[in-house]
Every structure is written in structure tokens, then in C-alpha cells.
Amino acid sequence: MCAGVATALISIPNRYMHTPAEICDLRDVESAVDLIVETIASLTGKETFIPGID
């Protein structure tokens, strides 16, 4: 039996992480949003996220 939660990570490149002056390029943010939207739009509802099961 498999246990856990299917997860995914999208990372946005930035500078000065964990400081009050953390910065990133807005084009990278917009591209990450586009990637998330397109990924969700491509889901059909028939996917399984259990490893080893097609």
C-alpha cells in the first residue's frame, strides 16, 4: 500500500533570498504562473499519481 500525498514544486529564481530585499524577475513569475495554468488545464481527471500504476 502506498501512502503520502502527490506533490510538485515550481521554483522561481531569485536573489537575496530570506532578506527584506529579495528580488526576482517578473517574467520568471509570469512564466511560472503560465506553467501552473497549462499543467492544470491539461489534467483530464483520469490521472493517477500512485507510483508504479499506469
Average pLDDT, the chain: 89
Q: What residue ranges of the chain have pLDDT lower than 50?
A: none
pLDDT of residue 2: 61
Nearest to 10 by CA among 19, 22, 30, 51: 30
| Predicted TM-score (pTM) of this structure | 0.72
pLDDT of residue 20: 95
pLDDT of residue 54: 61
pLDDT of residue 8: 87
Question: Domain spans of the chain?
Answer: 13-43
Nearest to 33 by CA among 47, 12, 18: 12
The most distant pair of C-alpha atoms in the chain lies apart, rounded to whole Å, by 46
pLDDT of residue 47: 86
pLDDT of residue 17: 93
